[in-house]
Amino acid sequence: MLAQKGHVEIMELQEGIAITEAILFAAGEPVSVDRLSEAAGIDSETVSKLIGQLERKYNVSDSGLRIIRLEDSYQIITRAEYAPFIKTALEIKRHAPLSQAALEVLAVIAYNQPVTKAYVEQVRGVDSNSVVNTLAERGLIEEAGRLDLPGKPVTYRTTQAFLRSFGLNEIGQLPPFPDQEGQMRLDGLYEEHEQQEEPEI
């Protein structure tokens, strides 16, 4: 009976570590112990112990990840020795050709800017959060401010890097507005400019 109880406790410990790890990884920023406790449904003292167990797990397995403490918050980060490899991978991603989804989102923003993510998703009919974030990382769009609405949603606009990447001098040089079928035709413009030179992004 005692052995069975111990087995259950080990499983609960492993689940607690996994939950803590998942929250920290998904957050991508420092998360306070109180916030972790509330999200995981675990008391703060136990959360601190779980984080310690997770850090030991990373150390024992020679993981490329580690946990840092910032006052009363914790964050998962990569180990410094792997920075050159990460930089190379991100540069490759940064200069990768734009996907059709990215071109669609760019078109919605370019022709209607400034717009919110919600507006982009309403036009496309699909979740566009990751695409918008990727375009912002590549410097093709940027935050233009916030609307005076509940939640203060962020609006986005195109950048000078966008103009350079599409061979434009100003936003007024965009192709005619999408046709009656609603097709956003930035892809042809992008492909034509790609043949001439690499995007400066």
pLDDT of residue 29: 81
| Alpha-carbon distance values, 122 to 82, 116, 150, 164 (Å) | 40, 10, 18, 28
Q: How many domains does the chain have?
A: 2
Residue with tokens 């669609």: 104
Residue 48 in domain: yes
Tell me: do 156 and 75 sit in the same domain: no
pLDDT for the residue 189: 52
Domain presence at residue 34: yes
Which helix or strand (DSSP H or E) is residue 11 part of?
helix 2-27
Which of 48, 81, 114 is a domain's end point? 81
Range of the domain at 9: 2-81
Characterize the bridge pairing of strands 154-158 and 141-146.
antiparallel
| Residue at a domain's end among 50, 81, 112 | 81
Taking only the tens of pLDDT, the chain with its 201 residues reads 334 444 446 568 889 999 999 999 988 888 999 999 999 888 889 999 999 999 999 999 989 999 988 878 899 989 989 988 888 877 665 566 788 888 899 999 999 999 999 999 998 889 888 899 989 988 899 999 998 888 888 999 998 888 887 777 788 888 876 554 434 455 555 555 454 444 443
Q: What is the CATH number of the domain that holds 46?
A: 1.10.10.10
Which residues have a Cβ under 8 Å from the Cβ of 50 and sit 6 or more positions away? 13, 16, 17, 20, 42
- Residue 59, token pair as written in the block: 């150390």
Domain annotation covers residue 160:
yes
Per the domain annotation, does 126 fall within a domain? yes
- Indicate whether 170 belongs to any domain: yes
Q: How many residues does the structure list for the chain?
A: 201
CA 44 to CA 9: how far, in whole Å? 18
The predicted model scores a pTM of: 0.48
Regarding whether 124 and 68 lie in a shared domain, the answer is no
- 12 assigned to some structural domain: yes
| 86 assigned to some structural domain | no
* Domain end (from 81, 111, 134): 81
Does residue 38 fall inside a structural domain? yes
Whether residues 68 and 118 fall in one domain: no
